[in-house]
Amino acid sequence: MTRPMPTAPVFWDGFYAEHTRAEQGPVNRILITETEGLTPGTALDLGCAEGADAIWLAQHGWDVLGIDASQIAVERAQAHAERIGHGERVRFAQHDLATDFPSGRFSLVSAQFLHSPVAVPGERERILRHAAEAVAPGGHLLVVSHWSVPSWHPAMPDPGHPVNLTVQSPEENLVALQLADEEWEIVRDELDRIELTSPEGRPGVREDHVLHLRRLDA
């Protein structure tokens, strides 16, 4: 008998019960480069994990709402923000984005590596469409997605990996948003290559798709 697929909150609580990325980050480097020069405003961080990106944005003048499916992750993130004195500028909340997307519009909506091994077909696409709808006029949408893994890494999907991902192509990421051309401009739509070394010292390159769009002013 096939075991039923766990919900996103159950899966990610289980993941964070066994794993942590520590308070120091790392902050996603593409978030840093793509927000340089933007005027800070309100930001929504989707899949915020333990809060590194959201706290970094708060440290640079943004008022941030970080969302994650895992209650464990958001509690760690909020505790960290309060310890370092940014609790008033950033807050965190648990949402299963497949069924419970936060309300409001934001100057920046960031979805960094928003992949889930327990997503049903079409779920990620619906979440990305909600993400686009949450961008205020003149605001920015930043979607960064895995595309390829280093040559030394098992191909995805990999049942042996703690987060077994199915990745979407750059074309699929853009199509999923269902954007009206007259309402958006593309700031960046390209693959970003990062050199990564395996624990055994083997070199390799990972490719991530960077999709940065701006909603035109009304």
Q: CATH number of the domain that 118 lies in?
A: 3.40.50.150
Residue 206 domain boundaries: 8-14+39-215
Q: How far apart are CA 58 and CA 87, in angstroms?
A: 9
pLDDT tens sequence across 194-215: 787 888 888 888 888 999 999 9
The whole-model pTM stands at 0.89
Residue with the two structure tokens 């766990």:
6
Whether 1 maps to a domain, the answer reads no
Is position 149 within any domain? Answer: yes
41-98 per-position pLDDT tens digit = 999 999 999 999 999 999 999 999 999 999 999 999 999 999 988 888 999 999 999 9
Beta strand 106-112 with 135-148 is: parallel
Total structural domains within the chain: 1
